[in-house]
């Protein structure tokens, strides 16, 4: 007789052994106690013993993972024995009488194959079929036949299985970010491990790696102890059970255990995501052909797009290129792709440490990655899973999968920080320093990994990280202040009377009467609230914070302005205005190139004419030079333009080639618009950001002067500067001076424009210009018009 009360206390292996022995006895007794039917004349004599009948375990019992109070999943396989129904009853009833839960079926091998080929859940369960007792040959035939059927039906069943898992993920959530996770059904839970083995059985992916198996085993241990303590068949890891389970498993406390569970869930989810991408790629029908060319499209220096993912270029040198990791990650996020698993492994093994402070190119790539919004989240998870993110930010390990017990928080600390940076990417056009907003959002809760008030502790940590990233001392102070005061606005707006002058004075004094910091803290509060939950950032709270900000701005006597100053922001690439000895070129064009940090500085002198700045920008775009910053000044009929550029694919510009191209563009023999369209056809443009562009006017808008300043905030993309200046020229405006900045993934360009006729730029013309600029940000390239120079 089975002692069911002692089963939960046994180890998984011993529990399986005891049940197998008992079930084998049940089958033997059932066969012995069931008389065979009388044979008819001419029929084969009835069979005795277990010949032609086998008891097979599937599900958790088949895998040897039956938890305490788990269901027994059994299949009674036969080859047509007429007394099979009686045998089945004689096996099932003692199980029920013992008080055990039973999921049972009676099948022939063809019947089991038919079910496995049509029902994805049944097919997945039959992959775990394990012989318990009876006819071993029949059980082996069942396993072979069902696995063969699973492979043959994979193209139809696996998409169903994928959709089932995604549906459950939407209903139950992700295991890694739940405070009371469902250890089995949440995405990244035990079911993921079973699905990964099923995909491997279909021979469309490798067996799960060792780290995924280790994560799976941890979740099994936690579930077993949870059920053993609760005394019931539950998979939901409720709060009251977490501490005793942690102590039993030898861990310090419930937070430590929940963090381990989160890490395991993240690993299984990461492997599952990558596996499903492989499956989907394998199931796509491709044209037959012995020699099918694989398209490799350059994205950035050292990385290319191939087969829907980002891989290393053939000439990439990861061992000597410390910027390659973030450059590739930024390129992947900007193209809404992922790095290939092999590329990740190569980078993890061969990439050298990043110099400290970070070179400007590394910081630039990191900002572009953060500014990519939602598409940056899976790329950052790739870097995290391979340990690359912790190499860049060693402090990250302290908050990795760190649970947050506050009911408002949806995510662990590290994922909350990533989500806040993602939300901040949608607000970069509302602030003058989008780079500081992105970094501040990523670091605002970094202090939660240390004892003490996380805002106070995080201030010093944020300053250290910003210093390592290579920001200037004033920018480091701003980032530190953002971390220290990231709760200032929402806490004050909801807990104090915002109409009280003392409240407004207190906020102004706290931020040092700095309008720029106030602007950044307002955007950070929005991003932090959006990344927390809808309860944390309601319309009512948003209104209160905005009202408080307006009052503080009024107290400071001025609001932040977007008007361009005399120099570029400290975080932007700097362009020197020192005179250069430019080599002459025919046609009055001079080009000088100087190597600077993170690229080159190109100084171009040319006769002033309508559309000049657009022509220069077009030539640089055609030569695959990304413009990071630019200035142009016109005096006495001559113009000098200075561009801070970086070659997109690592090829340094050649002065004579640029000079010839500029001269040809000005003479009208180089069709810039057509050439750039062809370039776009060869190299797909970066996806435009979700946020719409923002166009605003300064100075001339109010005064009616003929010179105005138009500001364009838009997602950066190759050739954007050319498109914008071409749009201005097409609308009949001259660019007399400009300040170009690209911070992260956004361009913040200011153009001083005037009408050559000397007439003021009225509201109607501004509206036309704005429409043309918006179209340019979306990829429109105006064609040259008669009477104007090519743009």
Q: Are 621 and 719 in contact (CB under 8 A)?
A: yes
Q: Are residues 131 and 162 in the same domain?
A: no
> pLDDT-derived band of residue 579, with 50, 70 and 90 as boundaries?
very low
Euclidean distance between CA atoms 65 and 87, whole angstroms: 27
The answer to which of 83-97, 184-198, 747-761 has the lowest mean pLDDT is 747-761
* 122 φ/ψ angles, rounded to the nearest 5 degrees: -65, -40
Between residues 739 and 126, the one the model is more confident about: 126
Q: Are residues 200 and 220 in the same domain?
A: yes
Q: How many domains does the chain have?
A: 5
Does the pLDDT at position 575 exceed 90? no
> pLDDT-derived band of residue 600, with 50, 70 and 90 as boundaries?
confident
Q: Are residues 143 and 161 in the same domain?
A: no
212 class by beta-carbon count within 10 Å (0-12 exposed, 13-18 middle, 19+ buried): buried
Q: Are residues 99 and 161 in the same domain?
A: no
The answer to which of 106-120, 396-410, 542-556 has the lowest mean pLDDT is 396-410
Q: Which residues, in sequence order, are bridge partners of residue 130?
A: 57
Look at residue 134 and tell me if it is in a domain.
yes
Q: Are 183 and 189 in contact (CB under 8 A)?
A: yes
Q: Are 656 and 764 in contact (CB under 8 A)?
A: no
Look at residue 113 and tell me if it is in a domain.
yes
Does the pLDDT at position 155 exceed 70? yes
According to DSSP, residue 236 is labeled B
> pLDDT-derived band of residue 682, with 50, 70 and 90 as boundaries?
low
Look at residue 409 and tell me if it is in a domain.
no
| E strands present in 727-766 | 734-743, 746-754
Between residues 746 and 106, the one the model is more confident about: 106
Dihedral angle computed from the Cα positions of residues 178, 184, 187 and 191, in that order, rounded to the nearest 10 degrees = 170
**CB atoms near residue 762 (< 10 Å):** 10
Does the pLDDT at position 569 exceed 80? no
pLDDT, residue 705, reads 52
**CB atoms near residue 389 (< 10 Å):** 21
- Mean pLDDT of all residues in the chain? 86
Euclidean distance between CA atoms 289 and 338, whole angstroms: 27
Euclidean distance between CA atoms 745 and 520, whole angstroms: 17
**CB atoms near residue 224 (< 10 Å):** 21
For residue 635, the SS3 value is: strand
Domain that holds residue 337: 317-392
Euclidean distance between CA atoms 105 and 10, whole angstroms: 27
Q: Are residues 771 and 687 in the same domain?
A: yes
For residue 145, the SS3 value is: helix
Vertex 217 angle, CA 215 and 221, to 5° = 120
Does the pLDDT at position 790 exceed 50? no
- 255-260 contacts: CB < 8 A, separation 24 or more? 255/402, 255/403, 255/405, 257/222, 258/179, 258/403, 259/401, 259/402, 259/403, 259/412, 260/218
* 72 φ/ψ angles, rounded to the nearest 5 degrees: -90, 115
Does the pLDDT at position 154 exceed 70? yes
Does the pLDDT at position 632 exceed 60? yes
Residue 509 CA from chain centroid, whole number: 38
Give the 3-state secondary structure percentages of the chain, helix then strand then coil, rounded to 5. 50, 15, 35
Euclidean distance between CA atoms 593 and 582, whole angstroms: 9
pLDDT, residue 676, reads 80
Q: Are residues 622 and 759 in the same domain?
A: yes
Look at residue 128 and tell me if it is in a domain.
yes
CA distances from 561 to 430, 707, 767 (A): 11, 18, 22
Q: Are residues 429 and 556 in the same domain?
A: yes
CATH number of the CATH domain containing 220 = 1.20.120.330
pLDDT, residue 683, reads 60
Produce one character per residue of 121-143: b if its CB has 16 or more CB atoms within 10 Å, e if not. Answer: ebbbbbbbbbbbbbbeebbebbb
Look at residue 575 and tell me if it is in a domain.
no
Euclidean distance between CA atoms 428 and 161, whole angstroms: 40
Q: What is the mean pLDDT of residues 517-537?
A: 90
Q: Are residues 58 and 193 in the same domain?
A: no
- Which residue stretches of 409-511 are H helix? 413-425, 434-443, 454-468, 473-484, 488-495, 501-510
Question: Can you spell out the DSSP letters for 526-549?
Answer: HHHHHHH-TTTS-HHHHHHHHHHH
The closest alpha carbon to 273, from 346, 378, 183, belongs to 378
Dihedral angle computed from the Cα positions of residues 488, 492, 495 and 501, in that order, rounded to the nearest 10 degrees = 160
Euclidean distance between CA atoms 47 and 43, whole angstroms: 12
Q: Are 264 and 219 in contact (CB under 8 A)?
A: yes
Dihedral angle computed from the Cα positions of residues 114, 117, 120 and 126, in that order, rounded to the nearest 10 degrees = 70
Q: Are residues 132 and 211 in the same domain?
A: no
Q: Are residues 689 and 590 in the same domain?
A: yes
> pLDDT-derived band of residue 691, with 50, 70 and 90 as boundaries?
low
Between residues 536 and 196, the one the model is more confident about: 196
Element of type H or E holding 268: helix 254-283
277 class by beta-carbon count within 10 Å (0-12 exposed, 13-18 middle, 19+ buried): middle
- Which residue stretches of 710-762 are H helix? 720-730
Euclidean distance between CA atoms 170 and 534, whole angstroms: 17
Q: Are residues 273 and 353 in the same domain?
A: no
Euclidean distance between CA atoms 720 and 627, whole angstroms: 9
pLDDT, residue 785, reads 39
The closest alpha carbon to 749, from 520, 569, 524, belongs to 569
Bond preceding residue 357 cis, omega within 30 of 0: yes
For residue 654, the SS3 value is: coil
Produce one character per residue of 474-501: b if its CB has 16 or more CB atoms within 10 Å, e if not. Answer: ebbbbbbbbbbbbbbbbebbeebebeee
Euclidean distance between CA atoms 120 and 161, whole angstroms: 6
Look at residue 101 and tell me if it is in a domain.
yes
Euclidean distance between CA atoms 159 and 108, whole angstroms: 27
Domain boundary, last residue among 152, 178, 202: 152
Does the pLDDT at position 285 exceed 70? no
**CB atoms near residue 376 (< 10 Å):** 25
pLDDT, residue 736, reads 74
The closest alpha carbon to 370, from 431, 310, 329, belongs to 329
pLDDT, residue 678, reads 76
pTM here is 0.82
Residue 537 CA from chain centroid, whole number: 23
Look at residue 93 and tell me if it is in a domain.
yes
419 class by beta-carbon count within 10 Å (0-12 exposed, 13-18 middle, 19+ buried): buried
pLDDT, residue 706, reads 62
Vertex 780 angle, CA 777 and 781, to 5° = 115
> pLDDT-derived band of residue 406, with 50, 70 and 90 as boundaries?
confident
Secondary structure tally for the chain: helices H, strands E: 30, 15
* Percent of the chain surpassing pLDDT 90: 58
Domain boundary, last residue among 122, 152, 182: 152
Does the pLDDT at position 280 exceed 80? yes
**Widest pairwise Cα distance in the chain:** 119
Domain boundary, last residue among 351, 376, 392: 392
> pLDDT-derived band of residue 182, with 50, 70 and 90 as boundaries?
very high
Q: What is the mean pLDDT of residues 275-289?
A: 75
Q: Are 186 and 237 in contact (CB under 8 A)?
A: no
Element of type H or E holding 105: strand 102-108
Q: Are residues 134 and 243 in the same domain?
A: no
Q: Are 789 and 609 in contact (CB under 8 A)?
A: yes
The closest alpha carbon to 719, from 673, 664, 656, belongs to 673
Look at residue 411 and tell me if it is in a domain.
no
> What is the crossing angle of helices 239-248 and 254-283, to 10°?
100
> pLDDT-derived band of residue 186, with 50, 70 and 90 as boundaries?
very high
CA distances from 463 to 213, 436, 456, 476, 752 (A): 39, 12, 11, 5, 36
The answer to which of 8-12, 77-81, 731-735 has the lowest mean pLDDT is 731-735
């Amino acid at each position: 007789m089975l002692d069911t009360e002692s089963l939960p206390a046994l180890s998984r292996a011993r529990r399986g052994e005891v049940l197998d022995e008992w079930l084998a006895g049940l089958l033997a007794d059932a066969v012995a106690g069931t008389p065979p039917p009388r044979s008819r004349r001419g029929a084969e004599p009835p069979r005795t013993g277990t010949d032609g009948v086998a008891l097979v375990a599937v599900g958790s019992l088949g895998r040897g993972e039956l938890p305490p109070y788990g269901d027994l999943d059994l299949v009674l396989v036969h080859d047509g024995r007429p007394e099979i129904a009686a045998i089945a009853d004689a096996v099932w009833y003692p199980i029920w009488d013992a008080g055990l839960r039973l999921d049972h079926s009676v099948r022939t091998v063809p019947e089991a194959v038919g079910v496995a080929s049509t029902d994805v859940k049944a097919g997945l369960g039959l992959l775990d079929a394990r012989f318990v007792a009876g006819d071993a040959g029949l059980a082996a035939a069942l396993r072979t036949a069902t696995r063969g059927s699973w492979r043959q039906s994979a193209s139809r069943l696996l998409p169903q299985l994928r959709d089932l898992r995604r549906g459950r993920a939407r209903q139950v959530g992700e295991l890694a970010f739940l405070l009371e996770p469902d250890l089995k059904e949440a995405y990244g839970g035990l079911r993921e491990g079973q699905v990964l083995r099923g995909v491997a059985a279909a021979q469309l992916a490798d067996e799960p790696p060792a780290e995924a198996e280790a994560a799976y085993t941890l979740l099994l241990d936690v579930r077993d102890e949870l059920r053993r303590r609760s005394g019931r068949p539950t998979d939901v890891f409720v709060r009251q059970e977490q501490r005793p389970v942690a102590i039993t498993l030898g861990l310090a406390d419930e937070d430590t255990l929940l963090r381990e569970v989160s890490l395991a869930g993240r690993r299984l989810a990461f492997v599952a995501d990558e596996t499903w991408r492989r499956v989907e790629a394998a199931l796509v029908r491709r044209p037959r052909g012995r020699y099918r060319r694989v398209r490799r499209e350059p994205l950035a220096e050292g990385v290319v797009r191939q087969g829907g993912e980002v891989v290393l270029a053939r000439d990439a040198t990861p061992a000597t290129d410390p910027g390659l990791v973030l450059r590739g990650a930024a390129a992947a996020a900007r193209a809404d792709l992922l790095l290939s698993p092999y590329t990740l492994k190569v980078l993890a093994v061969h990439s050298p440490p990043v110099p400290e402070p970070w070179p400007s190119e590394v910081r630039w790539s990191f900002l572009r990655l953060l500014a990519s919004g939602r598409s940056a989240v899976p790329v950052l998870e790739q870097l995290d899973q391979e340990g690359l993110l912790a190499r860049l930010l060693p402090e990250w390990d302290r908050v990795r999968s760190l649970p947050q017990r506050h009911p408002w928080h949806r995510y662990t600390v590290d994922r909350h920080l990533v989500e806040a940076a993602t939300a901040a990417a949608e607000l970069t056009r509302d602030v003058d320093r989008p780079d500081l907003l992105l970094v501040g959002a990523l670091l605002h809760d970094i202090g939660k990994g240390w004892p003490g008030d996380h805002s106070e502790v995080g201030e010093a940590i944020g300053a250290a990280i910003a210093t390592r990233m290579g920001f200037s001392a004033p920018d480091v102070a701003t980032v530190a202040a953002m971390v220290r005061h990231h709760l200032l606005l929402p806490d004050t707006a909801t807990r104090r009377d915002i109409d009280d002058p003392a409240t407004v004075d207190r906020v102004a004094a706290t931020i040092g009467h700095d309008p720029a910091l106030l602007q950044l803290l307002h955007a950070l509060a929005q991003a932090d609230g959006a990344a927390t939950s809808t309860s944390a950032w309601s319309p009512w709270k948003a209104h209160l914070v905005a009202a408080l900000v307006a009052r503080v701005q009024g107290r400071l006597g001025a609001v932040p302005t977007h008007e361009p100053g005399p120099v570029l922001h400290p975080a932007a690439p700097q362009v020197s205005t020192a005179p250069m000895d430019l080599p002459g070129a025919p046609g009055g064009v001079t080009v000088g190139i100087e190597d600077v940090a993170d690229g080159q500085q190109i100084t171009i002198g040319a006769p002033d004419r309508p559309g000049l700045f657009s022509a220069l920008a077009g030539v640089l775009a055609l030569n695959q030079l990304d413009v990071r910053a630019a200035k142009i000044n016109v005096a006495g009929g001559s113009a000098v333009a200075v561009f801070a550029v970086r070659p997109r694919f690592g090829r340094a510009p050649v002065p004579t080639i640029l000079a010839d191209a500029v001269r040809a563009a000005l003479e009208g023999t180089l069709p810039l618009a057509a050439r750039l369209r062809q370039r776009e056809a060869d190299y797909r443009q970066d996806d435009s950001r979700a946020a719409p562009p923002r166009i605003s006017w300064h100075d001339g808008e109010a005064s009616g002067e003929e010179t105005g300043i138009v500001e364009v905030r838009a997602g950066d993309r190759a050739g954007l500067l050319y498109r914008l200046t071409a749009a201005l020229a097409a609308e009949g405006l001259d660019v007399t001076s400009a300040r170009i900045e690209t911070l992260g993934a956004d361009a913040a360009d200011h153009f001083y424009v005037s009408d050559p006729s000397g007439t003021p730029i009225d509201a109607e013309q501004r509206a036309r210009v704005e429409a043309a600029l918006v179209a340019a940000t979306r990829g429109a390239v105006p064609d040259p018009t008669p009477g104007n120079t090519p743009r």
